[in-house]
Structure 1
Amino acid sequence: MDKNWMHVPNRFTSAEYSEGVNKLLIMARAHAPESTTFRCPCRRCRNNLFLPINEVEDHLFMNGIDPSYTHWIFHGEGESWSVNSSYSNDDGFDPTRNFVDDMDDMLEDTRAGTFMDHASVPHEAGPTSPPTGNDGQSKTFDQLFEDAKRPLYPSCEKFSKLSFIVKLLHIKTVGGWTIKSFNMVLELLKAAFLDIKTPTSYHEAQRLERGLGFNYVKIHACPNDCMLFWNNDADKEFCPKCNELRWESTSGKKGKIPQKVLRYFPLISRLQRLFMSKDIAKSMKWHREQRVDDHSTLRHLVDFKMWRQFDKDHSWFAQDARNLRLGLANDGFNLYNNLAKPYSIWPVILVPYNLPLWLCMKDPYLMLSLLIPGPKAQGNDIDVYLQPLVNELQELWVHGVDTYDASTKGQFRLHAALLWTINDFPAYANISG
């Protein structure tokens, strides 16, 4: 559908604009024939308000339509789309494969990003050579590819073995299932469907997460928040500052148990993974290539003066739209929601602000970076726990890392900058030192 009318400057006298508004309202009525109110897509309401159809029409002429609303998802445009309309043999779509998931495509991009040969292609180069990697990782990905191509059972057309397991693991996480209950579900599925291809246990299914690179690092910490037993101090048994023992127990069947453990989710690999999906990689350049450049309205942090000033001060960073601007949020909360158990835990979350305003604050893109243990707030000692994250941020700023871009099938040098923190005032005082 032609939408050039959305940018017509003289709305009141333009027959093109009037005809475009009429088509939009006809589509909206057909989309919700029994509704008396509709989302208003004008510049002011931006689909946040439900109004009678005549008021929506008035707003569209008085305020103009939101120019960024190019896909009319709230007014029925998506209903005429076919699930497979974008596929053709020229695009590499295999008509003999009917699985609705695109897990194999995702693995193709992930594999290319994981096994890319840094030495074979310079940073500015185009398409990469075939990815290389060690035999262990390659075998893991080969198994994942096989599972992505294998149907869940012989006549299944909706799920591959891999996509079903991934969805089942996701339900376990969202639903808070125990490992025992997850194993019981797997046993029930195997008993009910003899030909089903599922793992025999949670631990077997969990190997998929390791194969896809979802892991974290446990770093032992001084119980008094003095230091981390990490890097050059990884082999120490006592804290050199307070002389506190690293271990809670040094004997027994369980062996040594650390008194305090920081869980760190490595940042660089997670930022690189954002570019291993074609769609997400394209969205990472939204702030430069697709947003509406209107400084009179603040819709996203890219509209703020600080963003533009940062681009002026660091022009080398701004040259590549894929370089990441990050925000950091942290605060403590009572893990048990019970004042009788005064235990607080402190998550540190990173937000990639390159993404469009409707994505950057969504759950899938909020990256948990650190999980700092309690039982009490660290105060100014929180900087001890921020060391692994700060080290990676410094590497991303100064040196950058070679990263595979699935949207261009090539490599580039990824840099990142931490521009904002989100805190209440006590946490802001602590994190600022």
Structure 2
Amino acid sequence: MDKDWMHMPNRFTSREYAEGIKQLLTMAKAHAPGSTTFRCLCKRCCNNIFLPITQVEDHLFTIGIDPSYTHWIFHGEDESWIANSSDSDENIDNESQNNVDDMDELLEDIRAGAFMEHDYFEQGTTSQPTMSERQSKNFEQLLDDVRCPLYPHCEKFSKLSFIVKLLHIKTIGGWTIKSFNMVLQLLKSAFPDIQLPNTYHEARRLEHGLGFSYVKIDACPNDCMLFWKDDADKETCSKCNESRWVSSRRKKGKIPQKVCRYFPLKPRLQRLFMSKNIAKSMRWHKEERVDDHSTLRHPADSKMWRQFDKDYRWFAKDARNVRLGLASDGFNPFNNMSKPYSIWPMILVPYNLPPWLCMKDPYLILSLLIPGPKAPGNDIDVYLQPLVNELKELWKEGIDTYDASKLENFQLHAALSWTINDFPAYANLSGWSTKGNMACPVCNVDTYSKWLKHGRKHCYMGHRRFLPFMHAWRKKKAAFNRSEDHRLPPPDLVGHDILHQLEQVGNTEFGKGSRKRKRTPSELNWTKRSIFFHLPYWSTLLLRHNLDVMHIEKNICDNVLGTLMDIEGKTKDTANSRRDLMELGLRKELHLQPSANGCVSVADRKISGMKSHDCHVFMQRLLPVAIGGFLPSDIRLALTELSSFFKALCARTLTLDILKRLQDDIAIILCKLEMIFPPAFFDIMVHLAIHLPREAYLAGPVQYRWMYPFERYLGKFKRYVRNKARPEGSIAQAYVHVECLSFCSLYIHDVESIHNREERNRDIDKGVDQSKHFPIFSQKVRPLGSPSSNRLDKTLFAKARWYVLNNCAEISQYIDEHYMKVKEISSENVDR
């Protein structure tokens, strides 16, 4: 057979390569008829691993055939032909021999994907080279590096593969730039012929050559506008006339006062389809997900996902079209609360991926970095313009993308499903103010609130309207507000209802320097028309902004714990709360009584330092235990039911029956709490619990829509800050560097990376020889304390023996045979 096709430069489009693979696999099947696995002859497996024929074929196309394997003795080639073959066939490329990495594959995939940032994001002068020119120049240099051996006659490493591994070890090990430069100088001194860059910054040319970068967009220091697109050449803000530049006498160019950093979304979505395994996982929600219509395990099981598929069938037709969630929160990069500074990143999560991947760090996409020192507040829409503009393009036109799993190009589209944020950020992104008498965005104009004269705040009670219409508590007066309550729950507002309300909202002036106008009564609690309504599908979504279960649970825990323990500053049972009860004429037994002895002083009680996850554990696990035996039965029962509610709501798997029960339970629980706690207890966060089961029904389990994974992700950004004078620049540079290395780690195999790292909770011990032990005994354990020996009693030993025998796959066939014999004997006895 002619074997020139083995050295074809582009195997994805070469017809000769495809025909050669077909003939080779046909010969292998004929050589071993009936066999289910064959030796894989790709460059990675090198005939050392047996795989199904379909996986062998995939490897030959995605990884490439091993060019050193010219005599196919394992796949049916006649040995007599080998003896007569010419010596010229044994001349192989030294660069490909013993190569354990796929840097050439990386560059070929980059070239095939052709994802580079677009020139229209550039805001420099025409004298500067364009983005594509710089990338093209760096890319050609990378091609030279992958062909260049690390040193003369080196067959294991190319210059590029060694640099990638060295940068990867630096990131994993937390080396400083100085230590990395010292290692480079040591290697160059010890091996004069080695081909290495001189400094860390030269080594980072890799990122620009592969298209990993971001765009700097100057902004008005008062958040009025971006110097972007048509305004890119302006010197001053068109609204507040503030100068774009820092007044300085330096002659080396102008320095902008404020810079927003944007990370283009299109190339980052394209990279999700460059890896065969990840590209296949992007179709999991349609091709592999278990769909039983009554169980919610993933957002794809939710009503909102299904409704979106019905409304936009063309989008749902291709499972590769991406559904995104947008999370946002501010953080202080200095870990010093005495120095106020707030940076706001915008993080995107692709929900196409399966549950075990979509919320992991490598798949979270940073799209925007809004600079400090002040939070953008309601002006956040100014900074969201590049992202929304790109989302509109991805919805309408899409972008041509290469799918490595199917070896084809397709038009990729994307849609934003919802936002994830805490309640103050909810107001910034949605445009509905979360303060005042209509603070609840779900109840909207039907929010029930009361102003507490002495507590100087609003309380949100009246939860009897969520009870069944004929419930007995609707007629109870003394236990609630001295009146019956026969109101219906507030209606669920749909898109056209919201648009009708937004028609009453006047023009919004953005910027810290603009004068804020007073809202008219017809505007309700709307402060602006959110920029997300520029997306064609946004108004049709059943859920646009998520209520964050993490912060709601924490605030309720703080209220309960602070009130029960009378913690100063956190308790809701204060003198002013009792005065408000007197003012409202409720629960006379709790009214303040004058005392001749004056005030009683007791020792201070205080709990501090509880984080969100601490409250999560306390609320669901410890609260029922902590209050047992210390509180009256009615209070203990109500708080225990509240704990059980959050425990059931936060389960990884939900059913429609459970959600219906939770919706009924939370209304009863809040009514019980109204009969126990003072009105000051019922702030807006306590009220929001009534809407959580509905949102779970619309959007799926809460672990895909709360802030826990994003709060942890922001912790990484804090560690990225090395230059405290420029924290945003440090974060952006470090993020792009880690993003590039995470992508490159898909193509390296002998260095620990985020993709091949062993899981902390792995149950199977790799060190156990499977040929000597049954798999049931290969579980990895983590012993605690000093060892001790103990003999099992007969009953416990019999149970352990029964468990082993019933869970050992190796002897299951003997058990089945024994069962069949017993069954036959029993049948014979019955016949007799």
Could you state the TM-score of these two structures normalised by the residue count of structure 1?
Answer: 0.71
Q: Is the 8 A contact 2:97 2:156 kept in 1?
A: no
1-structure distance, mates of 2:177, 2:275: 30
2-structure distance, mates of 1:344, 1:393: 26
SS in 1 for 2:358: coil
1:114 alignment partner AA? A
Deviations 1:157-208 (A, max 9, x none): 6543222212322344455544433322211121123343221222321211
1:319 alignment partner AA? K
Distance change >3 Å, CA 257–CA 136, structure 1 → 2: closer
SS in 2 for 1:404: strand
Q: Is the 8 A contact 2:328 2:346 kept in 1?
A: yes
Q: Is the 8 A contact 1:182 1:202 kept in 2?
A: yes
In the alignment, which of 88, 94, 105 is matched to residue 67 of structure 2? 94
Question: Which residue is equivalent to 1:352?
Answer: 350
1:268 alignment partner AA? K
Deviations 1:77-115 (A, max 9, x none): xxxxx9755568795233462222222222211111118
1:139: Cα distance to partner?
5.5
Q: Is the 8 A contact 1:151 1:159 kept in 2?
A: yes
**Does 2:223 correspond to 1:225?**
yes
Question: Which residue is equivalent to 1:205?
Answer: 203
In the alignment, which of 336, 340, 344 is matched to residue 338 of structure 1? 336
Distance change >3 Å, CA 297–CA 190, structure 1 → 2: farther
**Does 2:242 correspond to 1:244?**
yes
| Bigger strand share | 1
1:233: Cα distance to partner?
0.9
Q: Is the 8 A contact 1:101 1:163 kept in 2?
A: yes
1-structure distance, mates of 2:97, 2:189: 27
Deviations 1:57-86 (A, max 9, x none): xxxxxxxxxxxxxxxxxxxxxxxxx97555
Q: Is the 8 A contact 2:227 2:233 kept in 1?
A: yes
Deviations 1:330-389 (A, max 9, x none): 100011010121111111111111112111111111111111101111111011001000
Distance change >3 Å, CA 181–CA 216, structure 1 → 2: same
Aligned counterparts, 1:32-181, within 5 A: 85=50, 92-95=65-68, 97-114=97-114, 140-154=138-152, 159-174=157-172, 177-181=175-179
1:307: Cα distance to partner?
0.9
Could you state the TM-score of these two structures normalised by the residue count of structure 2?
Answer: 0.38
1-structure distance, mates of 2:104, 2:294: 44
Q: Is the 8 A contact 2:115 2:270 kept in 1?
A: no
Distance change >3 Å, CA 115–CA 362, structure 1 → 2: closer
Distance change >3 Å, CA 156–CA 354, structure 1 → 2: farther
2-structure distance, mates of 1:309, 1:220: 40
Question: Which residue is equivalent to 1:189?
Answer: 187
SS in 1 for 2:386: helix
2-structure distance, mates of 1:430, 1:210: 34
SS in 2 for 1:210: helix
Deviations 1:196-221 (A, max 9, x none): 32212223212111000000000111
Q: Is the 8 A contact 1:349 1:370 kept in 2?
A: yes
Query: Over aligned residue pairs, what C-alpha RMSD do you find?
Result: 2.6
Question: Which residue is equivalent to 1:28?
Answer: none
2-structure distance, mates of 1:253, 1:172: 36
2-structure distance, mates of 1:89, 1:285: 22
Question: Which residue is equivalent to 2:82?
Answer: none
In the alignment, which of 415, 418, 422 is matched to residue 416 of structure 2? 418
SS in 2 for 1:257: coil
Aligned counterparts, 1:307-326, within 5 A: 307-326=305-324
1-structure distance, mates of 2:354, 2:151: 39
1:412 alignment partner AA? F
> 242-251 or 340-349: which moved more?
242-251
Question: Which residue is equivalent to 1:54?
Answer: none
SS in 2 for 1:261: strand
2-structure distance, mates of 1:94, 1:214: 31
Q: Is the 8 A contact 2:328 2:420 kept in 1?
A: yes
Distance change >3 Å, CA 162–CA 265, structure 1 → 2: same
SS in 2 for 1:333: coil
Count of matched residue positions in the alignment of Structure 1 and Structure 2: 336
Distance change >3 Å, CA 425–CA 159, structure 1 → 2: farther
Distance change >3 Å, CA 375–CA 139, structure 1 → 2: closer
Question: Which residue is equivalent to 1:385?
Answer: 383
Structure 2 unaligned regions, length at least 5: 1-46, 69-95, 117-131, 432-832
1-structure distance, mates of 2:48, 2:264: 36
Distance change >3 Å, CA 234–CA 271, structure 1 → 2: same
1-structure distance, mates of 2:133, 2:262: 27
| Bigger helix share | 2
1-structure distance, mates of 2:187, 2:312: 56
Q: Is the 8 A contact 1:99 1:159 kept in 2?
A: yes
1-structure distance, mates of 2:357, 2:231: 40
Distance change >3 Å, CA 97–CA 301, structure 1 → 2: farther
Deviations 1:373-407 (A, max 9, x none): 01111111011001000000011011211222222
Deviations 1:230-283 (A, max 9, x none): 111111111121111111134214431111100100111211222222222222
2-structure distance, mates of 1:401, 1:338: 43
In the alignment, which of 264, 270, 274 is matched to residue 268 of structure 2? 270
Deviations 1:272-331 (A, max 9, x none): 222222222222111111222233432221121211111111101001111110011110
Higher-RCO chain (CA-CA 8 Å, sequence separation at least 6): 1
Distance change >3 Å, CA 115–CA 392, structure 1 → 2: closer
Question: Which residue is equivalent to 1:214?
Answer: 212
1-structure distance, mates of 2:232, 2:148: 44
2-structure distance, mates of 1:210, 1:84: 36
2:209 alignment partner AA? G
SS in 2 for 1:279: helix
Q: Is the 8 A contact 1:352 1:365 kept in 2?
A: yes
Q: Is the 8 A contact 2:138 2:205 kept in 1?
A: no
Could you list the runs of 4 or more consecutive aligned residues of structure 1 that deviate by over 6 angstroms after TM superposition?
87-90
2-structure distance, mates of 1:427, 1:325: 22
Deviations 1:22-63 (A, max 9, x none): xxxxxxxxxxxxxxxxxxxxxxxxxxxxxxxxxxxxxxxxxx
2-structure distance, mates of 1:146, 1:85: 34
Distance change >3 Å, CA 297–CA 154, structure 1 → 2: farther
Distance change >3 Å, CA 222–CA 175, structure 1 → 2: farther
Distance change >3 Å, CA 377–CA 136, structure 1 → 2: closer
1:415: Cα distance to partner?
0.6
